[in-house]
Structure 1
């Protein structure tokens, strides 16, 4: 039996009072830690609720034991004293009885896990595991769901790696600049990674290059599903000779066209700004 299976068995045998005590203690710690990477307490609480409710949805049903453990959450949602049957109705109305319909939240949860401390990662996994075990059995579906959260814990991701992965998923992104007092936006798709920095390329003959030179303050916006990355700062250009061979490797046709036309690229990164991921519910994860 694996260590994970042994832990599951121990939690399955735990008495309800101990369960509740540990669950409440970890909940407070996790919410406090999430508040450090989100913009306000409401965002932290919403992230916490997503973790908990998505965990309940892992096997597509809300047991009475799970409801009793999570009753304060349901009471918070309804602002009333919720019964089990009312909790089941809320569960179904939120689509939580169909795990696949709620699966996209895993990406957000993994993103959050990638930004917190090792201890908080462990606390989050333990919270989810407690929810799964409260009814006396951690099912195979629940174990597989927990694994989706636990596996990324072995990977350390820097902020630039996080942003780069998001931009890669997005494929294209928007660059916002100013032209005097007029905002300007255009779609970009070229990015290069060099020395743990992300560089963007624009033609030096284009207005966007002139705008960045005149006022380097700019912002990158990208979207993946219902999540949006916002990264602002000042454009700092570099003429590192390594850019050209990198460009030829990732976009050979574009590189050849610029060569044939006698054009050149200006490569810049953003410095001195901030970055965050926001979803349509206005839940925000601060990257830096």
Structure 2
């Protein structure tokens, strides 16, 4: 009798378990399309930067690897507040080589903020031509200064968020350009995990400040910053001291903002396949 009750209870238990899995599936897969759409709408209408950052973090947490198609769909209606986030998620969550050819189809020359963002994501996904294209447009004197600045910003993001193979090339370009839009990235680069990148960032920062303010002398020893030796906490503190001081020279705070997200730059391996969130 007991055996019969156990056997008769098995289908009920299986059905109950199946129901639980069905309801849990959206959580296991990450953000559903409706949830992501709702969050993107909220981000577009966010009333201030603090609210926008909170919503951005919700989206970053919800979107998981393997949702490349869903993110690409979100690019069909570009918006200056949501598209940069979607492109950043593609660059970090998508399988690089498999996504490059598809994302290339979304590239168009205008508006500049959109084109620069797509090229930046392509570069981070492993497209070898993308950095060259961004550099050419950043150098193109026929473009409006504000449009050229968008490409500089995209190169700066690559320098901060790109993988170990990509960051040195981006630092080299920024160091040659010597424009204020690279300052935030240079400050972030002072705390790069790799010493060679910290040296490139310091050299670029000194060169850019020297170009912008040729009548001033900058002594970074005063904040005890060293590219080699020391510890990461000391470098972080020194970099933030410099970031807080530069506005006193009349440099807009918006070009000094960090370009980091709450995760370290990826290694080369994470670009060749789906990276972890």
TM-score in terms of structure 1 length: 0.25
Structure having the higher helix fraction is: 2
